[in-house]
Structure 1
Amino acid sequence: MKSGILVYDIGTTSVKSALFTGTGALAGSVSKPYKTEYPQPGWAEQDPDLFWEAAVLGTRELLASPEAAGISVEVIGLTGHMNGCLPVDARGQPTHRELIHSDSRSTVQCDRVRSLLGEDAVYRKTGNPADEHLSLSKFLWLKDEQRDAYNKTAWVINSKDYVRFKLTGILGTTDFSDASLTGMLDLAGRTWAWDMIDALGLRRECFPTIRSSIEREGGLSGEAAEILGLPAGIPVSYGGGDGSCATRGAGVTGPGEAYVSVGSSAWTSMLAPEPRFDPLRRMQNFFDLDGHSCNVCGTTQTAGIAVDWALGLLFADISDTPEQYRAIEKSLEDIPIGSEGVMFLPYLMGERTPHWDAAARGVFVGLSLAGNRQTLLRAVYEGVSFAIGEIVDIYADLSMPIKTFTLLGGGIRSPFWRTLICDIAGIPMRVHPFPTHAISLGAAMAAGVSVGLWKDLEEAVAQINGFEQIEPDLKKTGQYKRFFSIYKGIYRNIKPIFNELKSAGTDSIPKT
């Protein structure tokens, strides 16, 4: 029997159960989808029990597949979406649905954090700007608006921590990567920012114990083993947030190596030996899987989900198949660069880097009777790609030169989109050999190191090979620069309108 690593990746749209061999090769995977609820504009919630149900169904199907034959699961790894707020009681029962990363309802609470603690002080301590998308203000919202749920809460954790509890029965723990992207961790002290927590009146006992992602937390419980069809006692690693797992899964080992992961959202990251503080507070810092190095990261709040939204509106009459997607994207090649003068801001749920503005919203500019649905869709693709380009430019401001740039995530399966990103950035890039599984691979690396399959993360990363190199069309890069400049000016000019819409109360109107 070959040694195997079973990984659960709790994503925005599904749980991916993946099986890797002891050499880091992908043997097979199964995805089980679930819904995100959007009760009001800016709200995004998920039922944590659906994470576990999807993991169980995926595991059973995966283990019964031909790909799993001859592989013995030696360790279980975990990863999941970050900066959420998943409150559970002392028995592990959720007291409220998780407010996931894209939820931005906590504007009032975020304003209180800024006013009471100071924006610069928060950034210097946590490496992250005070923002509605981070866990801190979401937990404050729970305290203010759902007091009964808050009083019943024993721990506030993240998605992969909940699934790990279901696997082991151990509750009240997290890892450094997830903890550092809550907006509540003192990066220098590598502990919770107790002074901030006390000043905001939050209960200290709700904050979990923190461990490195490459450590083990017990073994698979008998109850979970029976449900999954696995032997009891299999070691379970602490695992890491999807951002940190993506970094190692992308093949990053140190400074100069960048990547972008294009999924429902998109984030661009580089690894540094310590936090890199941006004077303009545009970038985030969160710990690597080793619990010491730092990811210096910028996030585009709506990426693949913006494209899916546009496809649903503009091409609802076309069947949802890979062949149809390719045909649609092929038709976009007939639309000239700049989408015939139509531009799109992809701020459908606010924006993080570089604006950190929960009031921002999606905008089409330059519409005319000459446009068609292909024009609008290409503008969406270009708008998200420009948003990624804005983040790439910040690294130059921080004196962080890029030597290699890796593309990964579900959006990178599109040849059209990855070429677009490369041309806009104007730098050579490489496509991950299995772009939709790079995050799971990072979690597998952490799990493998936890049981000695690899001596460290660097040895694990060395197993990756088969990258596809792509080069930018520099003529197109030059053409995009003009539109990129216009794109960056749109937000500056219409920001007051976003604030007026917010004041008008549009986000308080429930969906009908």
Structure 2
Amino acid sequence: MKYVIGVDLGTSAVKILLVNQNGEVCIEISKSYPLIIDKSGYSEQNPEEWVEKTTAGLAELVEQFEGDVNDIEGMSFSGQMHGLVLLDNQHQVLRNAILWNDTRTTKQCQEIYETVGKQKLLEITKNPALEGFTLPKILWVKEQEPEIFERASLFLLPKDYLRYRMTGNVHMEYSDAAGTLLLNVAKHEWSTEILEAFDLSPNLCPPLVESQAFVGSITAKVAKETGLSEGIKVFAGGADNACGAIGSGILSEGKTLCSIGTSGVVLSYEERNDLDFEGKVHYFNHSEENAYYTMGVTLAAGYSLSWFKDMFAKDEAFDRFLDGIENVPAGSNGLLFTPYIVGERTPHADSTIRGSFVGVDAAHERQQFVRAVLEGITFSLNESIEIFRSSGKKIDSIVSIGGGAKSDVWLQMQADIFNAKIEKLSSEQGPGMGAAMLAAYGCGWYPSLKKCAEEFIQTSKTYLPIEENVKAYRKLFAIYQQVYRQTKELNQKLSEFRK
């Protein structure tokens, strides 16, 4: 039996999977590392932590593996998007990595719009200027830490830096590069127009490759530290959302993914590079060659539910917390929740907006509040689906993963609100599985990623829309959409009182 390794470099931990030729996860290792939050809005990590924990995790995997390490043929990477790793001309790290959830760059985002223009930025990068992306971080370092920027000769994204440390070779692949605001997404090349606009050297940008590209083997040092064979093939990998899509089989037109974690993502496969969503959703290169995906984000999806539970039922088991919501009718007896508790991303890129319970009645009990929270999260995700549909996309089947796929009631709610068939996977491993599939494809196990997905991914259960609920939720969704407009000004006035 042959094996591949998928490494998913997350925000809080690195997750490492050993997967065999049947798509079975044989060993799973996770190693956590801390965030560095020196100021409000700052979020950083020490890249050396990624290397140390990944190396330790691989060594632990090899220790548990009972076969011949030479049968572990390939390895690939998934990772948190947008984070900035700056290197000097000796490829030494110049400062901590600035992560995707760092929000210090509002001023730089405005500078990007003023310099490039909103429409021109969308034409080139397919995305608006948001604090999470990489270019604003580069401009912040250039302005605030000029002595560090003066020494910078190269930037990498987190998983690309980790892969460099594993192989000694520098590359970046398209799915992650698409989140930098420096890539011409349609042309698959760094944008000289944007680089020149900010007086950035093209040499700052690493060579671009496809996600399944073979980029070398591990170094002798890494082989010694981990116990892996020096002959293991390393493939470029992909951004976490792209790999999550691969690991869920989102590899053909019409395929859509709903992933509910701390944040929530609705991601849809695109064959074309010329669709115009006016910046309302993200538009990135996929990890499948010559393919793309569009993506909407709810900032506080699962987080809204965990926040509510921590506030009102902190010590209660989650199953008991959700008990009884199946008996509450669609609409939670006239109670509505908007999950804007940390601001919102899609379709409202608004850091000031905050959440609401609307229609609170003395007759409401806890189950109605819990169901209203679940409905509000799902309504927010439905805003992205409606944007896709309004562009002419047909969305009738959605794969649901993450926390939202752990509750039958919530899965049925998704079917009713999205008005689509919901598929639950028999085994869900997310981005790590997508990285492993890229390695399996790169090793020649399958002629395409689609064929790999057919073997690796199975649906365990489906949920169909209930027409009565679909009608009720259509009315409620229209009311939900009014809440943002009618509370925006109120929240702007309230913001001065927040500490």
Change (3 A) 1:96 1:485: farther
Q: In structure 1, how many angstroms separate the alpha carbons of the residues matched to 2:254 and 2:5? A: 31
Partner of 1:494: 487
Matched residue SS, 1:261: strand
Matched residue SS, 1:20: strand
Q: CA deviation at 1:163?
A: 1.5
Partner of 1:5: 4
Counterpart residue type for residue 4 of structure 2: I
Checking the alignment, whether the CA contact within 8 Å between 1:104 and 1:349 is kept in structure 2 is no
Q: CA deviation at 1:122?
A: 0.6
Q: In structure 2, how many angstroms separate the alpha carbons of the residues matched to 1:444 and 1:76? A: 7
Partner of 2:446: 454
Q: In structure 1, how many angstroms separate the alpha carbons of the residues matched to 2:356 and 2:94? A: 36
Matched residue SS, 1:352: coil
Change (3 A) 1:498 1:151: farther
Name the stretch that deviates more: 158-167 or 82-91.
Answer: 82-91
Matches for 1:280-319 after TM superposition, within 5 Å: 280-318=278-316
Checking the alignment, whether the CA contact within 8 Å between 1:88 and 1:153 is kept in structure 2 is yes
Q: In structure 2, how many angstroms separate the alpha carbons of the residues matched to 1:102 and 1:380? A: 23
Partner of 1:113: 112
Query: How many percent of aligned residue pairs carry the same amino acid?
Result: 28
Checking the alignment, whether the CA contact within 8 Å between 1:432 and 1:438 is kept in structure 2 is no
After superposition, the C-alpha distances for 1:430-485 in whole angstroms (9 at most, x for unaligned) are 112222x1322221221122222222222222213430222233322332233322
Counterpart residue type for residue 411 of structure 2: R
Q: In structure 1, how many angstroms separate the alpha carbons of the residues matched to 2:38 and 2:355? A: 18
Q: CA deviation at 1:208?
A: 1.4
Q: CA deviation at 1:220?
A: 0.8
Partner of 2:184: 186
Checking the alignment, whether the CA contact within 8 Å between 1:237 and 1:446 is kept in structure 2 is yes
Change (3 A) 1:114 1:62: same
Change (3 A) 1:165 1:367: farther
Counterpart residue type for residue 225 of structure 2: I
Matched residue SS, 2:294: strand
After superposition, the C-alpha distances for 1:262-291 in whole angstroms (9 at most, x for unaligned) are 223222222222225335321221112234
Name the stretch that deviates more: 483-492 or 377-386.
Answer: 377-386
Partner of 2:393: 400
After superposition, the C-alpha distances for 1:353-403 in whole angstroms (9 at most, x for unaligned) are 212223333444445666566554443322221111111111211111124
Name the stretch that deviates more: 472-481 or 87-96.
Answer: 87-96
Checking the alignment, whether the CA contact within 8 Å between 2:6 and 2:434 is kept in structure 1 is no
Change (3 A) 1:234 1:176: same
After superposition, the C-alpha distances for 1:116-159 in whole angstroms (9 at most, x for unaligned) are 21111111111112222222222222222333443343322222
Checking the alignment, whether the CA contact within 8 Å between 1:45 and 1:103 is kept in structure 2 is yes
Matches for 1:408-447 after TM superposition, within 5 Å: 408-435=401-428, 437-447=429-439
Partner of 1:88: 87
TM-score, normalised to structure 2's length? 0.91
Partner of 2:345: 352
Matched residue SS, 2:456: coil
Checking the alignment, whether the CA contact within 8 Å between 1:127 and 1:275 is kept in structure 2 is no
Counterpart residue type for residue 415 of structure 2: C
Name the stretch that deviates more: 130-139 or 270-279.
Answer: 270-279
After superposition, the C-alpha distances for 1:204-252 in whole angstroms (9 at most, x for unaligned) are 3221111001111110111112222212231111111112112222112
Checking the alignment, whether the CA contact within 8 Å between 2:309 and 2:321 is kept in structure 1 is no
Change (3 A) 1:184 1:499: farther
Partner of 1:151: 150
Q: What is the total number of aligned residue pairs between the two structures? A: 497
Partner of 1:61: 60
Q: In structure 2, how many angstroms separate the alpha carbons of the residues matched to 1:100 and 1:480? A: 37
